[in-house]
Amino acid sequence: MDSLSPLESWNSDKLSQYLGDGTTGPGKEERLQSGRVIVTSRARLHVCLLDMNGELGRVDGSVGIAISEPSVSVAVSRGKPSESDRMVRTFVNRFYSRLRVSGYCAKAVRYYPQHAGLGLTTQLALCTGRGLSEIEGLRLQAREIARIMRRGGTSGIGTAVFERGPPLIVDTGHHMGPRGKTKFTSSDYSSQPPPAVLLRLRIPRNWKFVVALPKGLRGYGGRRELEFFRKKCPIPPRMAADTARIVLMRLLPAALEKDIDSFGSALNSIQKTGFKRYEIEEQSPKVRRLMERGLKLGAAGAGMSSMGPSVYFVLDSSKGARQLAAKLGDDIEETWVAGAYSGGARVSHQIAEE
């Protein structure tokens, strides 16, 4: 069913496994007595949702790419939860309510724009949870943290990016029906766990991504995003089939064969069908014009990440990427030149000096 009872996956036995006697125990290490933990993760490009029709008994299914920039860092230290930044306070409270630990605050010390289509909310949630887990001496994995933080209920790409592994990711999606989702929902309104990773592929090191956020635009979030899902889904079976075919027979083989022209062509085709077509139609015409501009400037392919409005371009060299980024025009709020990223989240412990 598309709901979770409180602590469904955190019953008393599992809580005991992680929390032990409050100091150390199975699954638990020494608490950090002073200082702070800083967790850093990276953005992701969300290429598309594969099947928002659901009649085959599964729904969602995401394709995405971990990129080296932009990044997010959250610092966790001892303090009052109320001292936490507004951006992460909700996740501190969720962690407390599930695992009964207290006495810490979290602050976002590096982040990129929210509702830009680059997955900031999930990365803030996972960085906060990982920092709290580390400072408390727990050994929680990314998927356990995602479930506590209620992330990954539609796409599993953000959670997979937080883990280590090759950067081009496809996830399995969720069951549709009594065993899983019963409605088409965005991540904010789904209590399903993150889907499993179906496959990961490497991307050639020389391939670079230019990510551009158009000035004055933001994507959807919250209730507005939920209403969009409900309005547009289920999409026609043919549209879902077209997207899956492009991904399986063009995008993934092109990455494996290091064929950037075919990879870019597949990205271009994805923008014109499936749920992605609806996402782009919902955005400002600025987004489409920006993609067209980048293609004319020499990008092998272009796409809109998630619900947008961030647009990305793929090129075969750092020089070409920098040149394209410089020519996109003045109507851009922020631009990043990035490579594919396989490192996962990084954790550093800073011990306070006495």
pLDDT in tens, 244-283: 999 999 999 999 999 999 999 999 999 999 999 999 999 9
pLDDT at 176 over 50: yes
Per-residue pLDDT at 4: 33
CA gap 104, 114 in Å, rounded: 24
Per-residue pLDDT at 346: 97
Output the six-digit token pair for 51.
Answer: 């099947």
Distance of CA 258 to the CA centre of its chain: 24
Name the packing angle between helices 237-246 and 274-282 (round to 10°).
Answer: 100
What does the angle CA 220 – CA 231 – CA 188 come to, to the nearest 5 degrees?
45
pLDDT at 27 over 50: no
pLDDT at 7 over 60: no
Per-residue pLDDT at 33: 52
The more confident residue out of 30 and 13 is 30
State the DSSP H helix or E strand holding residue 237, giving kind and residue range, or none if neither.
helix 237-246
pLDDT at 331 over 50: yes
The more confident residue out of 102 and 287 is 287
Q: What percentage of the chain has pLDDT greater than the value 70?
A: 90
Q: Are 208 and 338 in contact (CB under 8 A)?
A: yes
Determine the average pLDDT of the residues in 293-317.
98
- 12-24+32-350 is classed CATH 3.30.230.120: yes
The DSSP-derived string for 137-204 is: TB---HHHHHHHTT--SS--HHHHHHS-S-SEEEE--EEBSTTSBSS---GGG--PPPPPEEEEE---
Question: What average pLDDT does the chain have?
Answer: 90
Per-residue pLDDT at 187: 85
CA gap 354, 351 in Å, rounded: 9
Q: What is the pLDDT of residues 31-75, one digit of tens each?
A: 555 579 999 999 999 999 999 999 999 999 999 999 999 999 999
Lowest mean pLDDT among 21-25, 47-51, 59-63, 332-336: 21-25
CA atoms within 13 A on the CB side of 171: 27
Per-residue pLDDT at 12: 33
Q: Are 268 and 260 in contact (CB under 8 A)?
A: no
Q: Are 82 and 50 in contact (CB under 8 A)?
A: no
Per-residue pLDDT at 299: 98
Determine the average pLDDT of the residues in 143-156.
96
Per-residue pLDDT at 351: 75
pLDDT at 228 over 70: yes
Which residue ranges make up each domain of the chain?
A: 12-24+32-350
11 pLDDT band, cuts 50/70/90, is very low
Distance of CA 92 to the CA centre of its chain: 19
Lowest mean pLDDT among 32-36, 282-286, 298-302, 320-324: 32-36
